[in-house]
């Protein structure tokens, strides 16, 4: 008993310690959040500092407690919303307090090519209004230089360098590994160019996929070169990108020297020298150090320049990230959340039109259809729907876009990919190596299917393939109806092929070139609103900070996704059977006495057992086994 008491006290002490740590983390996070709130009254004369330490995205993911723990430092990377960056730059045009714009790109992690083009256009507008732009980085690559090219003067650290890689590159192919492991990738697809499944069925890229990729990347690269050339005519970007090794060898490996000689940058100097240079133009800030310049904080400046609210509201729905089912927060395009936002906006009965901003590679066909059907409700209310494509609006993204009355894309937008696929693994070859086999009694050809131990039956394979083919027909049909084409015409430009925005316009998949402002203007025109007599009302999910310690960990699921179609049925049954097998294996080791257990009692359906949700439950010793019901 004395040992039990000591053990109990020890466990209570651990529990109290964990509670104390959790409270400290909670109040620390609360203090950090409150102390970093933007202050619009703190703006003074100086340079707007765009220290882009992270990536530019269409819609940032909702922050979580885990994010706070991992990124609590002052220099932690962040996601910058594209429209906020553009708004901040445009706001400098009429603000006399802003003497210049400083781009610190040393820690810039990039963004989509179309997004960076939008930022570049905003920089050009500011420069034309008389705002000098100064850029600095220790090292420049494609994305950072795409922005820096718009600067009045480009600086680089003399120990740094510059490299242009261009789009494209290799991807991994897993067929050889799967064969060695004995894993069968059961693939169901429609589309000659639907290459997303090729890594599981080939050792290399198919000729069709290579053709499509080459065409797309050539357009994107030519467009990048053209933008840089227009923004900085003196820069020899194309010759350097075509023969980087030759230039590096001629300069004895001194890439900074190459950058100066090829007029890619204007001056070499470290960060201190750059700050002194800026201070000479905008004023010295003595507080941090005598070498610092008077700067205007990005978040403070945004707070001082809120979105315009004059005129009639035009709703803007954002579909950003992979399209999935459910109601997850931002970071993915959760169809339940987005559809709910649309229905709620329609109930308010104030909107004059809808703009759908899409930056998504697609995802679930059912989830895409859920969003499209919600948009069709807006059409029933006679609301014009205009689609604005961002960096990518492909596959499921285009599925959603088909609901639009008018579709805008940029020349570098990646779109199309009208095709569908599904992949379900089975392990009959792998398990057979270890002597694991499958046998049983079937009442129908689908009893026990999908059989990940014995392999999928021909009946199931035929059903799944026909289901995918039916989904493709649905995709082609709805696109044909929306774009005024025949299904045969859509099939010819479909087949999973990805197109750049320029080619997509020629093919009739989009109606015109333009960004979000062009889409708003078109929506206003269709709603009968006068020019300037409207404003964008962004219908976004509230960005809530989650205090749950394990929120954001992909192994932990917070909601159940309903079964959607035969593929969803097969996938969920396979997961359930796999979970049952794992539970059986756990039970084999856990049970230590004679069992009075019925193995056949759950033979009709795989048991609905809860499978351990990752390393957290494993760490806590969670057992997923349960008695049959």
546 three-state secondary structure: strand
Tally of CB atoms within 10 A around 115: 27
The label of the residue with tokens 């339940």 reads 336
Distance CA 326, CA 340 (A): 11
Of 223, 395, 426, 612, the active-site residue reads: 395
Closest CA to 260 of 252, 251, 268: 268
3-class secondary-structure state, position 624: coil
Sheet hosting strand 110-111, strand order edge to edge: 78-81, 54-57, 110-111
If we measure between CA atoms, which residue out of 81, 572, 612, 573 comes closest to residue 325? Answer: 572
Task: Check if 194 is active-site.
Answer: yes
Q: Please state, in angstroms and rounded to a whole number, the distance separating the CA atoms of residues 448 and 606.
A: 8
DSSP classification of residue 64:
B
Dist CA 526 CA 523 (whole Å): 5
- Cβ(385)–Cβ(353) below 8 Å: yes
> In whole angstroms, what is the distance from residue 295 CA to residue 315 CA?
34
Across-strand partners of 162? 140
Q: Which two tokens stand for residue 483?
A: 């774009």
Residue 291 near residue 272, CB atoms below 8 Å: yes
Tokens 């905003």 locate to: 122
- 177-203 in b/e form (b: 16+ CB < 10 A) is ebeeeebbbbbbbbbbbbbbbbbbeee
d(CA 251, CA 477): 58
Q: Which residues face 139 on adjacent strands?
A: 161
SS3 string of 19-75? HHHHHHHHHHHHHHHHHCCCCHHHCCCEEEEEECCEEEECCCCCCEHHHHHHCCCCC
Tokens of 363: 């995802």
Catalytic residue among 194, 213, 223, 335: 194
User: Which positions are catalytic?
Assistant: 194, 395
């Amino acid at each position: 008993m004395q040992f039990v008491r000591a053990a109990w006290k020890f466990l209570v002490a651990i529990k109290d310690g964990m509670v104390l740590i959790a409270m400290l983390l909670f109040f620390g996070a609360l203090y950090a959040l409150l102390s970093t709130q933007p202050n619009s009254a703190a703006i003074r004369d100086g340079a707007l500092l765009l220290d882009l330490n992270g990536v530019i995205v269409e819609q940032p993911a909702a922050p979580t407690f885990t994010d706070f723990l991992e990124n609590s430092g002052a220099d932690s990377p962040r996601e910058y919303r594209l429209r906020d960056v553009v708004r901040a730059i445009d706001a400098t045009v009429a603000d006399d307090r802003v003497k210049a714009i400083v781009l610190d790109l040393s820690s810039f992690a990039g963004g989509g090519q179309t997004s960076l083009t939008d930022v570049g256009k905003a920089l050009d507008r500011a420069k034309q209004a008389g705002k000098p732009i100064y850029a600095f980085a220790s090292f420049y690559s494609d994305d950072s230089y795409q922005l820096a090219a718009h600067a009045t003067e480009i600086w680089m650290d003399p120990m740094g360098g510059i490299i242009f890689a261009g789009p494209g590159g290799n991807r991994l192919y897993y067929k050889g590994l799967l064969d060695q492991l004995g894993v069968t990738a059961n693939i169901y697809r429609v589309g000659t160019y639907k290459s997303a499944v090729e890594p599981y069925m080939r050792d290399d890229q198919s000729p069709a996929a290579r053709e499509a990729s080459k065409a797309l990347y050539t357009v994107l690269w030519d467009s990048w070169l053209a933008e840089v050339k227009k923004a900085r005519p003196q820069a020899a970007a194309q010759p350097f990108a075509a023969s980087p090794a030759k230039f590096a060898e001629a300069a004895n490996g001194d890439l900074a020297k190459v950058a100066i000689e090829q007029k890619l940058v204007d001056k070499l100097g470290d960060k201190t020298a750059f700050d002194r240079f800026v201070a000479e133009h905008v004023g010295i800030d003595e507080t941090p150090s005598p070498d610092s310049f008077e700067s205007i904080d990005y978040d403070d400046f945004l707070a001082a320049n809120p979105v315009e609210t004059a005129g009639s509201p035009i709703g803007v729905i954002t579909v950003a990230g992979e399209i999935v089912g459910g109601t997850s927060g931002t970071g993915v395009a959760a169809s339940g959340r987005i559809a709910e936002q649309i229905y709620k906006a329609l109930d308010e009965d104030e909107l004059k039109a809808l703009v759908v901003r899409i930056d998504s590679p697609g995802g679930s066909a059912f989830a895409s259809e859920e969003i499209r059907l919600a948009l069709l409700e807006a059409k029933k209310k006679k609301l014009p729907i205009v689609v604005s494509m961002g960096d990518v609006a492909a596959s499921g993204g285009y599925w959603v876009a088909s609901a639009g009355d008018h579709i805008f894309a940029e020349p570098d937008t990646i779109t199309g990919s009208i095709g569908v696929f599904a992949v379900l693994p089975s392990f009959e070859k792998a398990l057979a190596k270890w002597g694991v086999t499958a046998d049983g009694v079937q009442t129908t050809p689908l009893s026990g299917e999908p059989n990940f131990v014995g392999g999928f039956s021909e009946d199931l394979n035929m059903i799944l393939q026909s289901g995918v083919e039916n989904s493709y027909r649905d995709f082609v049909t709805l696109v044909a109806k929306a774009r005024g084409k025949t299904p045969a015409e859509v099939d010819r430009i479909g087949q999973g092929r990805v197109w750049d925005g320029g080619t997509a316009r020629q093919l009739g998949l989009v109606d015109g070139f333009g960004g979000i402002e062009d889409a708003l203007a078109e929506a206003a025109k269709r709603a009968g609103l006068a020019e300037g007599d409207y404003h964008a009302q962004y219908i976004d999910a509230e960005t809530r900070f989650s205090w749950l310690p394990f929120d954001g960990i992909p192994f932990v699921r917070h909601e159940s996704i309903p079964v959607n179609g035969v593929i969803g049925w097969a996938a969920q049954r396979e997961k359930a059977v796999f979970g049952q097998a794992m539970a059986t294996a756990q039970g084999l080791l856990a049970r230590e006495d004679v069992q009075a257990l019925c193995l056949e009692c759950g033979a009709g359906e795989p048991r609905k057992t809860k499978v351990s949700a990752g390393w957290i439950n494993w760490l806590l010793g969670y057992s997923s086994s349960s008695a049959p019901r």
